[in-house]
């Protein structure tokens, strides 16, 4: 860290066609720690400006060829150089000469012979102003960049796949990647969540790499940090101040190399950044505050999405239970089918979102039974051909009830095809093989297993071994060729999980 915070050797370009004047300026400036670059002409000075990181120019006016006014106008007319302050030093003292210097863009105008302490004082003042101006510009550009990153994130956001920490990390990493070494922190701690679900992560940045470490949930007790404001910043000189002692002592347990930082700490959201390569200022606090505002917005958006998803799941479950109201099964059939489907999907290597969706949406597989008369659903004896034709319509009714909403596409496919069979002997359309959507093929075996296990008015419930044997060997009505061979293989290999789910959720 010491290497990062050492005072930089600041480069000053001195331009004068008189070598004796250059030697004098070099003597004055070098003794105060400045690095002096000398030039005896305007053209050479401009070349050196473009090949060195110069922070200030001391410029003589009266030079052969390109004079000081022309050099100054060229500097101030170049977007890559105009931020460099210019002090013009000349023997000319008339009002008109000074006005010409100001119009050329010079920040200061000093007459010869000059006082060395005055020159040094002007240099210190201009460098401070330059630093503040650059810091302000950097903060402004960084805030704009984070806003753009946040807008892009929202444009690309898929609510079903969105994760809060990933979204916050995306914006933080955009900030880190675009910053110069002395503008970025060495480490960041991020915390978000509610109550016991609060998560703390430490991110350390070194040589273009990011290392993430999960911290203890009690890493930083927010209610015991004893800071007077939510947004604070501190430097080495502030570490022993009473208002920071408690917080910094806790932070040093996590990050012992702590030397400065900018922190936002609240009960809802925390971001703490440490060890910039320079002193931190209010501008750094403004940048962090912008990041915090985006983080709080993302957290609010995430909570709204979660509430909407919870309501969506509740609605599906309620509709699924409504479909059982007139059936003989008042237990957890729909929940068990969802769990069986999730197991099969995971074992097939399906994406996480597919597993999540089928666990929920397969619960609607029999929603079409709402349209079937209770006398048929609860009939203890064999159905007549006419009654059977009515029963075979429940997949079609289910698809009609679910409708065309894209979020329920899987549920519609399941409702319509869970009674289809791999060999084409199913209903309502007699689909065969991969004509049946995968979610329908998965739900078919899940539904069949649970139907065999569950007691009905027209049959007893079978034990696991009997149900397994019927599905894998057949009993005349149910045959192995009814099922997708890959799905059947997964069922055979994981039959014990089916038994465990049934026992856990029966009743």
Residue showing tokens 């079937």: 372
Range of lowest pLDDT (26-35, 154-163, 361-370): 154-163
Looking at the chain, the whole-number percentage of residues with pLDDT higher than 90 is: 42
Contact 18, 63 (CB under 8 A): no
Question: How confident is residue 3, by pLDDT bands cut at 50, 70 and 90?
Answer: very low
Question: Which residue has better confidence, 418 or 209?
Answer: 418
Domain ranges of the chain: 2-114, 159-303, 325-505
Mean pLDDT of 323-341: 79
Is the domain spanning 159-303 CATH 3.30.450? The answer is: yes
Task: Please state, in angstroms and rounded to a whole number, the distance separating the CA atoms of residues 499 and 334.
Answer: 15
- Largest CA-CA distance found in the chain, in angstroms, rounded: 118
Q: How high is the pLDDT of residue 222?
A: 60
**Residue 208: pLDDT over 80:** no
For helices 485-493 and 333-347, the axis angle rounded to 10 degrees is 100
Position 494 pLDDT exceeds 70: yes
Checking if the pLDDT of 323 tops 50, the result is: yes
Which contacts (CB < 8 Å, 24+ apart) does range 408-413 have? Answer: 408/361, 408/364, 410/357, 410/358, 410/361, 410/439, 411/316, 411/361, 411/362, 411/364, 413/437, 413/439, 413/440
Topology match between the domains 159-303 and 325-505: no
Architecture of domain 325-505: Orthogonal Bundle (1.10)
Average pLDDT for the chain: 86
In this predicted model, what pLDDT tens digit does every residue of 179-199 receive, in sequence order?
666 667 888 888 876 555 567
| pLDDT tens-digit map of 46-63 | 999 999 999 999 998 888
Say if strands 231-234 and 261-265 run parallel, antiparallel, or are unpaired: antiparallel
Q: Which residue intervals of 348-462 are DSSP H helices?
A: 352-361, 374-377, 385-391, 394-402, 409-417, 438-453
pLDDT above 70 as % of the chain: 90
pLDDT at 228: 59
pLDDT confidence band for 329 (50 / 70 / 90): low
The answer, yes or no, to whether residue 7 has pLDDT greater than 50, is no
Q: CATH number for 2-114: choose from 3.10.50.30, 3.40.50.2300, 3.40.50.300, 3.40.50.410.
A: 3.40.50.2300
Query: Residue 1: its pLDDT value, please?
Result: 41
Q: How confident is the model at residue 6 (pLDDT cuts 50, 70, 90)?
A: very low
pLDDT of residue 4: 42
For residue 70, what are its two tokens?
């022309």
pLDDT of residue 192: 78
For residue 158, give Cα distances in angstroms to 153, 155, 177, 481. Answer: 10, 9, 24, 38
Judge whether residue 76 has pLDDT over 80: yes
Instruction: Express each pLDDT in 351-374 by its tens digit.
Output: 999 999 999 999 999 999 999 888
Measured distance CA(467)–CA(454) in Å, rounded: 10
Q: Range with the lowest mean pLDDT among 386-395, 428-437, 455-464?
A: 455-464
Cα–Cα nearest to 169, from 298, 83, 75: 298
Check whether 42 has a pLDDT greater than 60.
yes
Confidence of residue 305 (pLDDT cuts 50, 70, 90): confident
Asked whether the beta carbons of 273 and 261 are under 8 A apart, the reply is yes
Comparing 98-102, 255-259, 291-295, the range with the smallest average pLDDT is: 98-102
**What order of strands is seen across the sheet that includes strand 209-214?**
209-214, 199-206, 187-192, 269-274, 261-265, 231-234
Give the residue-averaged pLDDT of 376-403: 91
Mean pLDDT score, 271-294: 87
Q: What are the backbone angles phi and psi of residue 338, rounded to the nearest 5°?
A: -60, -40
Structural tokens at position 31:
């003794």
Distance CA 134, CA 131 (A): 5
């Amino acid at each position: 860290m010491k290497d990062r915070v050492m005072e930089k050797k600041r480069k000053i370009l001195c331009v004068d066609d008189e070598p004796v004047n250059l030697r004098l300026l070099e003597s004055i400036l070098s003794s105060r720690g400045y690095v002096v670059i000398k030039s005896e002409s305007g053209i050479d000075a401009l070349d050196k400006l473009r090949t060195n990181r110069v922070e200030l120019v001391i410029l003589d006016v009266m030079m052969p060829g390109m004079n000081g006014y022309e050099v100054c106008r060229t500097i101030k007319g170049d977007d890559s150089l105009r931020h460099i302050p210019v002090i013009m030093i000349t023997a000319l003292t008339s009002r008109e000469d000074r006005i010409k210097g100001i119009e050329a863009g010079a920040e200061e105008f000093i007459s010869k012979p000059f006082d060395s302490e005055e020159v040094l004082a002007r240099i210190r003042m201009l460098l401070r102003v330059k630093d503040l101006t650059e810091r302000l510009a950097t903060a402004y550009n960084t805030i704009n960049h984070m806003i753009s990153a946040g807008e892009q994130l929202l444009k690309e956001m898929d609510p079903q796949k969105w994760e809060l920490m990933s979204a916050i990390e995306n914006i933080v990493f955009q900030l880190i990647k675009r910053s110069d070494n002395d503008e970025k922190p060495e480490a960041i701690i991020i915390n978000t969540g509610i109550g016991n679900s609060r998560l703390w992560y430490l991110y350390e940045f070194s040589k273009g790499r990011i290392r993430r470490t999960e911290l203890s949930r009690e890493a930083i007790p927010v209610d015991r940090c004893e800071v007077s404001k939510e947004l604070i910043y501190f430097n080495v000189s502030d570490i022993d101040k009473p208002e920071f002692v408690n917080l910094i002592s806790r932070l040093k347990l996590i990050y012992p190399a702590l030397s400065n930082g900018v922190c936002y700490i609240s009960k809802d959201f925390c971001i703490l950044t440490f060890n910039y390569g320079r002193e931190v200022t209010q501008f750094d606090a403004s940048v962090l505050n912008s990041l915090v505002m985006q983080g709080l917005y993302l957290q609010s958006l995430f909570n709204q999405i979660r509430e909407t998803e919870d309501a969506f799941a509740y609605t599906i479950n309620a509709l699924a239970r409504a479909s059982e109201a007139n059936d003989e099964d008042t237990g957890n059939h729909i929940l068990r089918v969802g769990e069986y489907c999730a197991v099969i999907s995971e074992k097939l290597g399906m994406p996480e979102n597919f597993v999540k969706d089928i666990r929920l949406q397969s619960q609607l597989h029999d929603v079409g039974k709402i349209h079937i008369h209770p006398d048929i659903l609860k009939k203890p004896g064999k159905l007549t051909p006419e009654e059977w034709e009515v029963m075979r319509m429940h997949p079609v009714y289910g698809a009609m009830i679910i409708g065309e909403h894209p979020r329920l596409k899987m549920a519609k496919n399941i409702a319509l095809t869970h009674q289809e069979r791999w060999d084409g002997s199913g209903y309502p359309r007699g689909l065969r093989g991969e004509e049946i959507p995968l979610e329908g093929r998965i739900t078919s075996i899940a539904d069949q297993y649970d139907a065999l296990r569950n007691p009905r008015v027209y049959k007893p419930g079978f034990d696991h071994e009997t149900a397994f044997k019927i599905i894998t060997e057949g009993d005349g009505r149910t045959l192995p060729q009814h099922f997708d061979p890959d799905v059947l293989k997964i069922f055979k290999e994981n039959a014990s999980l089916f038994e465990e789910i049934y026992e856990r959720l029966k009743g």
